[in-house]
Amino acid sequence: MIYVSEGLLYVCFAILTGTFILRLMPEDRRPNVQVPNGLLLACAIAIPILSYVPIHKLALVFAKDFDMTYGSILKSILLDINTGKAWIWTTIGSAGLAFLLGLKAFRDDKHMPKVALFVTFLLIVWLGYAGHASALYGFKGLVTHAAHFLAVSVWIGILFVTSWFSKDNAHWHAFLRWFSPVAIACVLVTLIAGFVLMTFTTPEYVNAWMLPYGQMLLIKHLLILPLLLFAYTNGFGYKKWADSSTSFNPKPWLKAESIIALLVLAATGVLGQQAPPHNVKETLQTASPSPLFTAIYKGSFSPDIALKFTLPLESILMLAAAAVMAGGLVWMYRVNKVIPAFAMGLLTAVFGYFGLMFAIA
């Protein structure tokens, strides 16, 4: 339940961010996008509800461990812990945003997207304040986490809203002229901030694969590969193939890219509710290794081992298969076959996963 709530929380942020940014753009620079106001209102209301789920779980655990009432533990969390303080501000901001979205006069006001986007930005900052990086590294962790999530929300939010809520194919060239560089900038910020966050939370990246957190982090990174391939083809290949084929429709391709993006958000949601392994050896003294790791790892497992890379034949074959699938995705774009391309994108991640797991010893 907690993983589902975290994933849905990220989707709500993406929908709000993408919608408000698109509404700031002139109509001749975007397709006709119509997001129901009820959905925006539901997202604003859902944010404090979904972000309360981990606090509820934490309060239940502490109440049991310290033999205290749920209410007293909850009060302590809300007043003394970053996560609780952030939730209070998130609730206030979300309530204000929901109130404004419920006013017809505000929905129709030309300044509405600016105000709503600013409030959403504040909510993203508070989400970063509640994260592991902020708790461990203060302002530096807050800025890194918030920048990472803001870039993801802008990129995936615009992508998701455009692919699922556009009513026509008008102005796609004009849309891609500004969205492609925005997406590239967001990808760069996401990657840079992501690497910095890893130095905070997972300094032993490969050894962390022995743990559930490390396995999910690896899966997330591998899912980013097909996401980037779809982003590349949709961003740079669209004009060429649209000019050569009058039947070319970009929306199914953007929808495929958005589904991969949702899988990445789901993996991020799982990571957000697991304790990062700052020291893998110490973590393994009290936590069990990942079942995925123990099922695939061929060596003799112990908490003291340090993983290293080799290149056995099965690893080479799997990595080669991943490269073939990646090339096949690009080729399917050229012949306008979206379902095979989507399957090849997922297989790129699957083969890449086994290729890397077979390579460790």
- Condensed to tens digits (0 to 9), the pLDDT of residues 288-325 reads 888 888 888 887 777 778 888 888 899 999 999 999 99
Crossing angle between the packed helical segments 112-129 and 132-165, to the nearest 10 degrees: 140
Kindly report which listed range (95-109, 128-142, 220-234) carries the lowest average pLDDT score: 128-142
Any idea what DSSP says for residue 108?
T
In the predicted model, is pLDDT for residue 192 greater than 80? yes
What average pLDDT does the chain have? 86
Task: Return the pLDDT at 246.
Answer: 59
Task: Return the pLDDT at 56.
Answer: 87
H or E stretch at 330: helix 313-334
Task: Return the pLDDT at 122.
Answer: 93
Q: Which residue has the higher pLDDT, 181 or 250?
A: 181
In the predicted model, is pLDDT for residue 18 greater than 90? yes
Nearby residues of 282 by Cβ (< 8 Å), 6 or more positions away: none
Output the DSSP codes for 109-144: STTHHHHHHHHHHHHHHHHHHTSHHHHHHHHHHHHH
In the predicted model, is pLDDT for residue 143 greater than 80? yes
Task: Return the pLDDT at 297.
Answer: 84
Percent of the chain surpassing pLDDT 70: 96
In the predicted model, is pLDDT for residue 161 greater than 70? yes
Q: What would the mean pLDDT of 42-54 be, rounded to a whole number?
A: 92
In the predicted model, is pLDDT for residue 47 greater than 90? yes
Task: Return the pLDDT at 77.
Answer: 86
> What separation in angstroms does the CA of 103 have from each of 21, 41, 97?
20, 10, 10
In the predicted model, is pLDDT for residue 31 greater than 70? yes
Q: What would the mean pLDDT of 281-288 be, rounded to a whole number?
A: 80
Spatial contact of 86 and 129, defined as CB atoms under 8 Å apart: yes
- pLDDT level of residue 240 (50, 70, 90 thresholds): low
Q: What would the mean pLDDT of 94-113 be, rounded to a whole number?
A: 84
Give bridge partners of residue 309 from the DSSP assignment: 360
Q: Which residue has the higher pLDDT, 36 or 272?
A: 36
Task: Return the pLDDT at 157.
Answer: 93
- Condensed to tens digits (0 to 9), the pLDDT of residues 246-280 reads 566 778 888 898 899 889 888 887 777 677 777 88
Q: What would the mean pLDDT of 211-230 be, rounded to a whole number?
A: 91
> What's the CA gap between 11 and 259, in Å, rounded?
11
